[in-house]
Structure 1
């Protein structure tokens, strides 16, 4: 480079100090611990364990057990429905009244569907489908409302079923409607019982729906019974 006098400037600019190389200096790069294979493996294992533990805890908290109100209700209502289906099929085969026949078959099909749902619950919960416990033992003794012969609320006795099988004509229709009204009212009591006790969302939803159906059917049964000149039976 030539200066103002025409001479050559021999001064050389001082070199700028290079930034230190982290790798050369032995310093760990930013985030290096998280990039290491053992650390990632540890985090993955911890995540899996925490996730599995949370799932196990949530499942344990929400799944009804062997002696829960939900399991007791499902078993008892399964048997309760079985008798309603039996009486409905008798009426369907023997009645000469088209409206009674239509109601009987509709109710039998609906209760068969509900029975399948409750049996599926018991399988899903991993509990026994049957129990040696007395009927309604999932409710306090004062609230069980058992029949005189120790059956669930509203259940027809063996003598009632014998009379129904032997009846014909209007006698059959009236007796069927009387027994079914009482049977449904007993079922409503059971539904109210599980609704008061369950914290299982699916059970609560289904029981609420079933209760609405039972209420509507009691109204229709009572209307049919009135048309035939009958009156409801007293409660057990």
Structure 2
């Protein structure tokens, strides 16, 4: 049987056919994007461990930098301290946001730096719970490079050149450990944005180490 279609009917059928084809392409494209979407890091991943531990490590650097800015009038020291505080505070916010985006808690029961175990980088800290807001020093979980409570108190009480010298000594050690942790993030993490941030941390802190060593030698 032959169908005799009017011209307008043919146009309608053609349009419907084009719509159907477009819908199929859209469905296939959407399915492909969903299938290709990367999995978010798990709570025990190196990505999550790095984001949690580096927040704690950074937070102490920010605190030390804020302390020394009130203890010295040296413009160079104050400028370096300001740069470190601003940069690392921003990075803390970025890592916090990633954990939120991944649907992961900001704290973990895992030992500090356990995510680095067996990687060839700095050994993880001894014991501890890694609970958010907990005093790591009091819990015996200070990570490598972090100042002790006694050192933080000494920095708060020092003034002038004494404060400058102690700050530089503490921050150089802090940065050396931070560079190692950042490099572990580059090597072990899977999220490309986190790896890039870790790479920038390692490079930036290495430059700051050189600058601070020069300043320390001049005191």
TM-score normalised by length of structure 1? 0.73
Instruction: Say whether the 8 Å CA contact 1:195–1:207 is kept in structure 2.
Output: yes
Paired with 2:146 and 2:73, the residues of 1 have a C-alpha distance of: 25
- For 2:61, the equivalent position in structure 1 comes to 84
Runs of at least 5 residues in structure 2 that lack an aligned partner in the other structure: 5-12, 127-139
Q: 1:55 aligns with which of 33, 49, 67?
A: 33
> How do 1:14-163 and structure 2 match up within 5 A?
22-23=2-3, 44=23, 50-61=28-39, 63-140=40-117, 143-146=121-124, 149-163=140-154
Structure 1 unaligned runs (5+)?
A: 1-20, 25-33, 229-236
What's the offset of the Cα at 1:96?
2.8
Q: Is the Cα contact below 8 Å between 2:121 and 2:180 reproduced in 1? A: no
Secondary structure of 1:138 counterpart: helix
**Counterpart secondary structure, 1:132:** coil
- The answer (yes or no) to whether the contact 1:137–1:144 under 8 Å persists in 2 is no
Tell me how large the CA RMSD over aligned residues is: 2.9
- Which is greater in Rg? 1
Cα gap change, 1:128 to 1:59, in 2 (>3 Å)? farther
Distance verdict in 2 for CA 1:57–1:155, change over 3 Å: farther
Worse-matched range after superposition: 50-59 or 75-84: 50-59
Deviations 1:52-94 (A, max 9, x none): 4433333343x22221111110111011110000000000011
1: distance between equivalents of 2:141 and 2:213? 26
Match of 2:179 in 1: 188
CA contact (8 A) 1:65 1:127 kept: yes
Q: Are residues 1:220 and 2:200 paired?
A: no
In structure 2, what is the Cα distance between the partners aligned to 1:107 and 1:223?
Answer: 17
The size of the alignment, in residue pairs, is: 200
Query: How far does the alpha carbon of each residue in 1:6-29 deviate from its partner, in whole angstroms, 9 at most, with x for none?
Result: xxxxxxxxxxxxxxx8436xxxxx
**2: distance between equivalents of 1:59 and 1:71?**
19
Q: Relative to structure 1, is the Cα distance of residues 153 and 47 closer, same or farther in structure 2, using a 3 angstrom cutoff?
A: farther
Distance 1:22 1:143, change over 3 A: same
